[in-house]
Structure 1
């Protein structure tokens, strides 16, 4: 950072002075929920505007490639920021500013005063004026003093040397041949932080003029090795505009590949030389450079040499021909010629900011009559180095470019490209199929350009990628008129913390300034899945700055648990049963010392068998938390009799994998010792009461000495309900022992190792039905992976069994739930709590019944759809059932019938691209099956000036709970919401608070808040009557001076009775939240990639407390569910090691994954008398609607299989349906070829 100007989110605006237009728009457009990602988006947008004051939409999409959000679903972020673009200004001149054109709801819908489609008034935005931005520091802009300085920084383990003269760098490399060269630090920084590498000498070469120089030469463009990807792309793009097209074909391929190489932030610092020297076999750039025959210049004290990049340049994994003393000086990318065709492709799990699974570049020169003169095709991701199929490249020369040659090339590749079965990353068959598919794509891409003859357009679809369209959306909601001017209930007011999120002023647990004498804690984690172990911390505790080591030896056995009766230990005692279990903790004077010392703790293992990783392993070894002969059972009706007499019976199964919560704020705690044994604990927990109880138990304290305080969470999704104690108890124990505050915030990899995720699920079903497709009975075997402990698995299993029928009326049902015990992290609550995994099987039933009867799946779904008055198998009467209304409105809004015809037409016209469309309903149970959890409390203080302090028992984690509660109180007290403030939630404010989960918190806390408000109102009523012309402040003051208590608690107890699992009677759910989604997708049959073309959702949220928040929850849940069903793949090694433990390997949805068109409508006229102000819980229910993407993809796969002449039914599609799953399901002549040639055995 030496000599650089740094501007942070706090530096561009604040709520105390003046917020920047970027901050204003993301806040007012509801683009923030938990807020943890918001500063990153703000600064990305601000940076774009500083560089391009009037950007285009494509600039936005490129800018945000490196930004992740887990809450919003991205739509409102883009809606806010697109108002800065040139495209937005053009939109305002068309159809009154609506990008929907003739399809605008205002054009097609009847006029209704209550119906709204404007969540925000864009006309009220402060105009953006780029001329008013602060000027760049003149001393940095005008002078290069800092850039010309040679720098040397000496650390305890590392020396950082920045020479500014090439000769000095070359001499330093000769003196320190093992020194690492650093430019953008994008690889070495990761290796140091997460790989715990130590490089004693680092040479920073980014300020040497010769290495950053760009020259246009007679043979091509010469780039210094320290030129960044962004500058490389910019310069080549400029040359593409001015040079003849035939000379820039290689440049075009490089620019196209760079567009998806990392995010914008990475490309701004990563360099071409660093990428080459890193020698990754997955490098997108190296594949292109080898195919292009790029020329590299290399220097050392021994002299210089020039080398052409070819198949010999990379000698083995992450190794090039460069010797230790040599430095890469420059790279020349050549011009192309008129007979040369150059193309590059990349397939990854996710289009943006993801490492390639396989990449490809082809360089082909033709002579006369389409005869091949030179042929080169290069693949990355097919072995330890960049791979060139030598036989193919040699024997293609002299052949004609026709289908006969194509078929020969595919045969050759199928025979020659056979990978080792233990190739890192796996996906052997998929990778091999990609080589054939990309060869076919290369053929059709070139054929389309090479020949003027018309070809079969169906095959030409293999040459084309997905179309790039500007994302568009609509949000339809209704506002009910109110006689109160101050009433905000039902109105789309922004999240109460939105502006603080946008300015960086929102305080999260780790944002609190350090306390005096504060220490830091780092944890020691298990690195085996099943083993006895011993520990030796003697080396660690001798390090300077280390204050304490804690382990199971420091807690009595009966107190070494995360809460009374919890099966999980604070510190594992003798035997580990999973990677990532906490063995001990180091407390030191800084984070760096603590983490370094934790790595020095020696752990010796004696490995045990078996190591059970999967549900299949658990079934094989009969490893269950429940007795195999006595599983969890839910049964209703005469199932056996119906199976004996039913006209039709099918058998089927469904699978869904593990999903990581990936909240952006990792688990965090600060334990502060106070007087008289009190411990004040700040935590990022969803369940403060449980954490207080657990700490009190382990430290042998009463709970009144352990207040737990929570301001806000940076996301939770269920992952912070039960896990907080894993670090909070050790931190509290250390604080108690040392008498100093102790802090701990897990790194991302630690968080993913310690905490579990969504339960993987395997379901087998047997279903009876009649000729109309009506389900008569079903029997289900549910296997659910709990991990190494069952702390949440029993409840999740029961929720899954109850929600299994989804929105369908299945009265005769028998379900068996088996809770599998595996040697993996203990899985936890996750948005949906087991229901989405179970509902997937119900949707499979509907579609397989339809295929069996040769009916439309919509007809089968409709005949089974639950309706008003139906009684569920768990004894719930369907009241205010709006499923049919949601269904009909969704079909209308989505123009389903006409689009089905359009999809069929598209599929007839395209062989290698297929589309599918699917409609999926949901009916999600809202409430707890246990009556003891159906409560909430609130605390209300009214101050002399009329301001109100409101506290309740719910934790704000992005779902807008505080905002909604303030709206409730505002209506109840009949005062402006600006008078009401909610600070931290704390167990010494509202004691024994309930868990924040299950989508009921607005319901229960809202009723508790209403109760408190009604008490205060009743106390103020005499003063209001005495002074009817007065104001709220007058009545408050009068009551105060009359010594009336203006503080009260509110409490709500749901009156319903407990649910009896034996008789399947009682109250399991308060009500159901319902909705329907229609989604259309397009898949690439050659790669398995897909794109969501359009999604329409109609959701019954009752009378929404806040339409903006509810729509945000719907969109966010949809995209999180999209990750579950389509993208997010959690992987283990055979020995139980976790392979996906960070954003580099675990991919959540990005902006590129959202539907091109995303329309959400809240059902009009719905009511719900069972919740506050007739609203409904909305956090979890929409998530399953994203399975509409899954089933639309399934329809597209069926179309592909039909074209290939293979059976279109009978194939199994498991979630997540990744690109690998989709491609291998699209069986064709290419996949058949790779099956003929088996992979090589392990070398």
Structure 2
């Protein structure tokens, strides 16, 4: 390599903190990205379909599968009696989530049997030929109905308490009390759940699964088949979206495919269609928030008491930790002097709800913002003023303690909000909107600025660990494998950047292969926004080990001090000599240097005592704020997001281009959750919004007409995270709250802002119209 090559390499080297395209972006847009359904399957592969119940709550008196079994092309029909191991796929191992229903049906669409046939079409047609006889039981699909029927909570509730909220409420000069409905949300990933199981010799089985948690799939398959975990290999190259919906919910498809594969000694593919996927899999939890707050005449919050009840579904799944995290974020960015927060994850006859981007945090935050909004309307003040008066203080002030007794030590929300308020020209625009609303008969406008403070780490402490495996081959190419999964969020690219930066090589030299349980064991789910934090640090640790060996080799081989050895772009300087990276690695191999390393990382400082409701569940907080302006038609309730400005904190970004895309996507998804995405069950307990034709996700035309997104480039994580970056997956989701709050202002204008509209979420056009008519009648 000559001097010109060195200069060129230095220019194209791909360290962290640079804009780099997603490693599969070109494949996504061209259709070349291979998903599980694109894989070439082994000859003789069979296909599976599910036999579903058509009752919400009933006992099965009889089940006739004779017509199913006689269908030409059907190879096998399986019920719970065919399960070799434990009929339970609940992630908490409480025994409350059967893989296949036995005698009791708990929700409409519950899986009772599966059909294996020569084609998917045959299997699906045959599955509909089963004949059931039921004894119907009372059912509850709603939180209030579940309470009336005496349904219990699916897991132990959580209480967070500090001070004496009850006494403080009684003493407060001003009080508000109310309730708010916060709707659920369908994940609507582009790729539905899918599993391909390929049998091996002895007890071995390989499963390709669209999952965020390969180790969870591995454990569930082993449990169902009653084989050791080491006999199960789970592979995941990429997912067509996950958003939390593929953290636990893929177990049923993988386990059944594996069960049939071992029984028939043939490959099995199980892919439900979109309607089945939406019917059979859990969603974001619906919440009913009951709240009380005491405050003074300047809007300072003195006490808060709130209960967060959630539609959990028929089993526990992740409802416990989801409702826990709702309480962790009920304060958002605000200090509550005296506080009492309780959760109520209540059982319902619906599919068991599960993880969704934000993991309960958004629901908790929305409830907290309703309190702020009500106080503002009670005092006839701009909600932004109430927000700023109640922000957590900067480090060192006594107003820094959360309801779970963690001190907020990295608070930058004051600066975030101040900068956004100025850059978005919020104050002038709000005055202009108020003036517009005074003269406009039909169209009304609203504007809101809302903050986000979101804690980062798994609240289940053991999940805060990760491993990585790094090989350097003789030609200097690098192979990377870690426990994180790629669902379109750019994790693979970011971790590859970490490795490229450490070795100072071009990003193309680093190859990340499919996530597999055979290379990195006991992995955590790619969730809780922790993918880059955990896996990036694990990869860094592996690189550090390799570099230490290479430093020692070079020092001995060339007889120079370690201080005179440095990794430069695509080369290594040893004393006065500069050696191309591939040549250097080849010489290390010839000297028998071990060129493989397993890295590991565990998040420091965190601890959590759930029984006492105290601890430090989060390593740090990510912050952000958004300003949204909307216009509504008071005759129809229809609305448009006119403009949104966002300033979001990702620390020192590993990849600003990817992070900005995550912020934009999260905002749109969050706004969709709070406006158009509505889940609806009929009186028979059937989910009727189970297809693209009945469930409205945001379209391209629903995005803000003006959309300004900026990262807080001055932010640097105080904690020793990878590259001093911060998580980006979940925190910006809650920026969509500004749309709900802006809609509320627009509605309130019809009554001269004297009454808080108390919009439930989602604030669909119907709800907006009803709120307008309600306020006009006052």
Instruction: Report the TM-score, using the length of structure 1 for normalisation.
Output: 0.59
Distance change >3 Å, CA 1104–CA 691, structure 1 → 2: same
Q: 2 CA distance for matches of 1:1224 and 1:1117?
A: 28
Distance change >3 Å, CA 1013–CA 484, structure 1 → 2: farther
Instruction: Report what 2:312 is aligned to.
Output: 786
Q: CA deviation at 1:1229?
A: 11
Q: 1 CA distance for matches of 2:517 and 2:707?
A: 41
1:170-198 CA deviation, whole Å, 9 max, x = no partner?
xxxxxxxxxxxxxxxxxxxxxxxxxxxxx
Q: CA deviation at 1:624?
A: 2.3
Contact 1:1023 1:1035 in 2 (8 A): no
What pairs up with 1:596-675 in 2 under 5 angstroms?
Answer: 596-609=125-138, 611-625=139-153, 631-675=157-201
Instruction: Report what 2:272 is aligned to.
Output: 746
Distance change >3 Å, CA 1009–CA 1104, structure 1 → 2: same
Q: CA deviation at 1:678?
A: 0.9
Q: CA deviation at 1:874?
A: 1.8
Q: Does 1:1163 align with 2:695?
A: no
Q: CA deviation at 1:619?
A: 2.1
Q: Which runs of 5+ in 1 are unaligned?
A: 1-481, 1233-1243
1:1208-1238 CA deviation, whole Å, 9 max, x = no partner?
4154310000000001111179989xxxxxx
Q: 1 CA distance for matches of 2:474 and 2:524?
A: 30
Q: 2 CA distance for matches of 1:818 and 1:878?
A: 26
Name the SS for the 1:939 alignment partner.
Answer: strand
Q: CA deviation at 1:880?
A: 2.7
Instruction: Report what 1:515 is aligned to.
Output: 42
Instruction: Report what 1:904 is aligned to.
Output: 434
Q: 1 CA distance for matches of 2:732 and 2:161?
A: 27
Q: 1 CA distance for matches of 2:154 and 2:482?
A: 37
What pairs up with 1:455-854 in 2 under 5 angstroms?
Answer: 486-533=13-60, 534-555=62-83, 558-561=86-89, 564-609=93-138, 611-625=139-153, 631-854=157-380
Which of 1134, 1151, 1156 does residue 683 from structure 2 map onto?
Answer: 1134
What pairs up with 1:257-296 in 2 under 5 angstroms?
Answer: none
Contact 1:911 1:1200 in 2 (8 A): no
Q: Does 1:1219 align with 2:765?
A: yes
1:902-961 CA deviation, whole Å, 9 max, x = no partner?
212221221110000001001011112222111000000111110001010100001110
Contact 2:176 2:375 in 1 (8 A): yes
1:94-117 CA deviation, whole Å, 9 max, x = no partner?
xxxxxxxxxxxxxxxxxxxxxxxx
Distance change >3 Å, CA 562–CA 698, structure 1 → 2: farther
Q: 1 CA distance for matches of 2:127 and 2:76?
A: 11
Distance change >3 Å, CA 881–CA 1211, structure 1 → 2: closer
Distance change >3 Å, CA 895–CA 1142, structure 1 → 2: same
Q: Does 1:961 align with 2:491?
A: yes
Instruction: Report what 1:1117 is aligned to.
Output: 666
Q: 1 CA distance for matches of 2:90 and 2:66?
A: 27
Distance change >3 Å, CA 1228–CA 1180, structure 1 → 2: closer
What pairs up with 1:982-993 in 2 under 5 angstroms?
Answer: 982-993=512-523
Instruction: Report what 2:410 is aligned to.
Output: 880
Distance change >3 Å, CA 1230–CA 1078, structure 1 → 2: closer
Contact 1:867 1:883 in 2 (8 A): no
Name the SS for the 1:634 alignment partner.
Answer: strand
Distance change >3 Å, CA 662–CA 1066, structure 1 → 2: same
Instruction: Report what 1:1069 is aligned to.
Output: 618
What pairs up with 1:145-184 in 2 under 5 angstroms?
Answer: none
Q: Which runs of 5+ in 2 are unaligned?
A: 1-8, 559-573
Q: CA deviation at 1:1105?
A: 0.4
Q: 2 CA distance for matches of 1:724 and 1:944?
A: 39
Contact 2:52 2:109 in 1 (8 A): yes
Report how many residues are paired: 744
1:1149-1170 CA deviation, whole Å, 9 max, x = no partner?
0011000000011113211132
Q: 2 CA distance for matches of 1:999 and 1:712?
A: 17
Contact 2:86 2:223 in 1 (8 A): no
Q: 2 CA distance for matches of 1:711 and 1:677?
A: 24
Q: 2 CA distance for matches of 1:823 and 1:1059?
A: 32
Which of 457, 465, 478 does residue 927 from structure 1 map onto?
Answer: 457
Name the SS for the 2:715 alignment partner.
Answer: coil
Q: CA deviation at 1:603?
A: 2.1
Contact 1:962 1:982 in 2 (8 A): yes
Q: CA deviation at 1:742?
A: 0.2
Q: 2 CA distance for matches of 1:579 and 1:1021?
A: 62
User: Structure 1 residues 899-908 or 1003-1012, which shifts more?
Assistant: 899-908
Distance change >3 Å, CA 949–CA 759, structure 1 → 2: same
1:1086-1124 CA deviation, whole Å, 9 max, x = no partner?
000000010000111100001111111111111111111
Q: 2 CA distance for matches of 1:977 and 1:556?
A: 46
Between 1 and 2, higher relative CO (CA 8 Å, sep ≥ 6) is seen in 2
Q: 2 CA distance for matches of 1:599 and 1:965?
A: 46
Q: CA deviation at 1:561?
A: 4.0
Q: 1 CA distance for matches of 2:189 and 2:642?
A: 27
Distance change >3 Å, CA 762–CA 495, structure 1 → 2: same
Q: 2 CA distance for matches of 1:680 and 1:728?
A: 10
Contact 2:84 2:226 in 1 (8 A): no
Name the SS for the 1:1005 alignment partner.
Answer: helix
Q: 2 CA distance for matches of 1:593 and 1:1135?
A: 29
Q: 1 CA distance for matches of 2:612 and 2:264?
A: 54
Q: 2 CA distance for matches of 1:488 and 1:1053?
A: 23
Contact 1:936 1:953 in 2 (8 A): yes
Contact 2:80 2:87 in 1 (8 A): no
Q: CA deviation at 1:483?
A: 9.1
Contact 1:810 1:873 in 2 (8 A): yes
Q: 2 CA distance for matches of 1:584 and 1:912?
A: 55
Q: CA deviation at 1:748?
A: 0.1
Contact 1:1059 1:1067 in 2 (8 A): yes
Q: Give the ranges of 4+ consecutive aligned residues of structure 1 lying more than 6 Å apart after TM superposition.
A: 482-485, 1228-1232
Q: 1 CA distance for matches of 2:612 and 2:363?
A: 25
Q: Does 1:1091 align with 2:640?
A: yes
> What RMSD, in angstroms, separates the aligned Cα atoms of the two structures?
1.8
